[in-house]
Amino acid sequence: MTASLPYRRAAALSPFPAHAQPMSAERVHALEEADRRHMWKPFTQMAGYVAGTPLVIGDARGNWLRDVRGRVFLDGVSSLWVNLHGHNHPTIVAALKEQLDTLDHATLLGPTNVPATMLAARLVQIAPGDHLTRVFYSDSGSTSVEIAVKMAYQYFAQHRDASQRTRNVFISMTNAYHGDTLGSVSVGGIDLFHQVYAPLLFETVKAPGPDPYHRAFGQSVAEHEEECLTALKERFASHHGRVAALVMEPLMQGAAGMIAHTPDFLRRAAAVARGAGSLLILDEVATGFGRTGTMFACEQADVVPDLLCLAKGITGGTLPLAATLASEEVYSGFLGEHSEYRTFFHGHSYTGNPLACIAALASLKVFRQENVLEHVQARIAQLAARLEVIAAHPHVGDIRRHGLMTGIELVRDKATGDAFDSTLRMGNRVIERALEHGVLIRPLGDVVVLMPTLSVTEDELDLLTGVTLQCIDEVVGELA
Ligand SMILES: Cc1ncc(COP(=O)(O)O)c(C=O)c1O
């Protein structure tokens, strides 16, 4: 062991009573069987999955999850980057209970409803800048991007200035991830996930996203970002007058393995898009709602997009909801007589669901009442300090972090940055070991992702980082 980080064990920190078995053995068995027989799980090779014992989560308290066998786990990835204030936060639960007795759902095609209307006004209030004035709801991060892409396309297709109607090209970044619907996959760039669908996608132009860890030998990070910026300018130049929008994840390409760029790169990339008369779509599905230390990541670069995609944390992690915020200028391009067919013909059955919207309003109330963005700064500083220790491990090649969003890249050779053989599934081994220590995390390949909730406590963050380092060390030690 090279170094260790002290922590108090999960059993000592968990808010659940010790040795409690929440369910009978028969019920547990029946649930596990039903899962093996009938579930088809996301991003999961089911052949391997059904051979194992499913982890069936039964209940949650604060930042902790408990499975039906009574094992407790710190939620180290905020239930896939959605939870913000801990599970079942009383403010959100109370708002939801009241809303359930008032209005469960009513369509937004025609009527409107109280929570959806209030939330739209509130989102506009907290949105960066002052030109994002319109909110279009949907239900997932993928649809929030799908909608932004369709809006940008249609905006130019029916532009009142005919010379703008040639703008139908989308530029997006290599390694981008914007979701799994075909439009969002088209602007994405992770071949591993999406190669098979290539014939179904529309063509987009890819610009190299900064990837400082894999930059050319001898190059500084600033030079690397400059090179990416030059390539971006070239893409715009070779599609002069034809680009509808640049699509980006601000500051952090999450699903690619937490690949970070600087606010300066974002600011300059946005300026390139603006200078070329293109719209800017920022996908803050992962980075939004405090994850990077500010409410929205783009605030750190002083950039305001024309279309802003929000989902994941929007409800504090309770219910599916997404919002695409549009500028008044984009919105006004859709106004006209019925006979002009400028309408945005898009909508989902559950658009603006009152329960999801009230949860989002309650989550924003928690931000205010608990000074979340102020308090989280101490946890961010603690995380940064602990990651310095992890970074020294001989098999940790790189650590990327913005706020609490963290990726720890495991490598076979620290000096050369050479990866482990992918069949070893090192990231997976680490997270499986972490489960044994009561910590639930998830890798992206050989990148161990840490994404604690904004309400993570000092002790919990010590546990998360301490167990992560210990498990990395154990797992690579076993290979020797
Ligand atoms: C940046 C980004 N955009 C879009 C999505 C897709 O969101 P969803 O899984 O809610 O469709 C994700 C999901 O991880 C994401 O990280």
In short, whether 255's Cβ falls inside 6 Å of ligand 1 is yes
- Decide whether any atom of ligand 1 lies within 6 Å of the 254 Cβ: yes
Looking from the CA of residue 80, the nearest atom of ligand 1 is 14
Please choose from 145, 182, 285, 287 the residue to mutate so as to test ligand 1's pocket, defined by most ligand atoms within 8 A of CB.
285
Per the prediction, the chain carries an average pLDDT of 97
* Angle made by CA atoms 64, 23, 14, in degrees to the nearest 5: 20
Residue 313 Cβ contacting ligand 1 at under 6 Å: no
Comparing C-alpha atoms, which of 281, 307, 320 is closest to residue 140?
Answer: 320
C-beta 311 within 6 A of ligand 1: yes
Cα–Cα dist 460/74, whole Å: 7
Kindly report the number of other CB atoms within 10 A of residue 33's CB atom: 11
pLDDT tens digits along 99-127? 999 999 999 999 999 999 999 999 999 99
Average pLDDT rounded to a whole number, residues 332-351:
96
Using a pLDDT cut of 70, give the percent of the chain over it: 100
What lies within 8 Å, CB to CB, of 269 at 6+ separation is 229, 232, 246, 248
CA of 179 to the centre of ligand 1 (A): 5
Structural domains in the chain plus CATH codes: 10-85+372-479 (3.90.1150.10), 93-369 (3.40.640.10)
CA 184 to centroid of ligand 1, rounded, Å: 9
The residue whose C-alpha atom lies closest to atom 16 belonging to ligand 1 is: 286
- Among protein residues, the one with the nearest Cα to ligand 1's atom 4 is 178
Task: Answer for the pair 127, 308: CB distance below 8 angstroms, yes or no.
Answer: yes
249 lines ligand 1 (CB under 6 A): yes
- Please give the pLDDT value at position 18: 81
% of the chain at pLDDT higher than 90: 96
Angle, vertex CA 374, rays to CA 376 and CA 443, nearest 5: 20
Closest to 313 measured CA to CA, from 347, 263, 364, 249: 364
- What amino acid occupies position 8? R
**Of 9, 75, 162, which is closest to residue 431 (Cα–Cα)?**
75
* pLDDT (tens digit per residue) in 292-322: 999 999 999 999 999 999 999 999 999 999 9
Taking the centre of ligand 1 as the mean of its atom positions, its distance from the CA of residue 288, in whole angstroms, is 11
Structural tokens at position 317: 């992690």
Query: How many Cα atoms within 13 Å fall on the side-chain side of residue 195?
Result: 2
CA of 178 to the centre of ligand 1 (A): 5
Concatenating the DSSP letter of every residue in 76-118 gives TTHHHHT-SS-BT-HHHHHHHHHHHTT-S---SSS---HHHHH
Cβ 286 under 6 angstroms from ligand 1? yes
List, for residues 359-415, the tens digit of each pLDDT value: 999 999 999 999 999 999 999 999 999 999 999 999 999 999 999 999 999 999 999
- In the reported structure, the alpha carbon of residue 324 is separated from the centroid of ligand 1 by a whole-number distance in angstroms of 13
Ligand 1 nearest-atom number relative to CA 255 = 16
- The finding on whether 139 has its CB within 6 A of some atom of ligand 1 is no
What kind and span of H or E run contains 407? strand 405-410
